């Protein structure tokens, strides 16, 4: 008998920087990291490939993605919703 676990998945907010693939978007997530010696805050960014089934997200949109099981070699997140549309 299988037991169902309620897994809390991490929600991430970032900016769409690529949408040229089919059903996949590239989301850049910026964060501030404090330098260990000097105490100055430095910008760091990470790129996530996210599954966008309907192809809703466009370049420059602020989106929310959520962690999921691996969908491909590099894709481990899913597109949830658009928070803010890009200014055209």
Q: Cα dist. 53→12, 32, 67, 80 in Å?
A: 18, 31, 15, 10
Q: What is the pLDDT of residues 1-42, one digit of tens each?
A: 666 677 789 999 999 999 999 999 999 999 999 999 999 999
Q: Give me the residue spans of the domains in the chain.
A: 11-84
Q: How far apart are CA 63 and CA 86, in angstroms?
A: 10
List the end-to-end C-alpha distance of the chain, in Å, as a whole number.
Answer: 53
pLDDT of the residue at 68: 94
Its CATH class, for the domain covering 11-84, is mainly beta
pLDDT tens-digit map of 44-68:
999 999 999 999 999 999 999 999 9
Identify which of 28, 32, 31 has the alpha carbon closest to the alpha carbon of residue 65: 28
């Amino acid at each position: 008998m299988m037991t169902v676990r309620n897994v809390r998945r991490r929600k991430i907010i970032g900016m769409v920087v690529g949408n040229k693939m089919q059903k996949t978007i590239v989301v850049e997530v910026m964060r501030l990291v404090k330098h260990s010696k000097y105490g100055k805050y430095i910008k760091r960014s990470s790129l996530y490939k996210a599954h966008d089934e309907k192809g809703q997200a466009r370049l420059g949109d602020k989106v929310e993605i959520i962690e999921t099981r691996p969908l491909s070699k590099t894709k481990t997140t899913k597109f949830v919703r658009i928070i803010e549309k890009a200014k055209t």
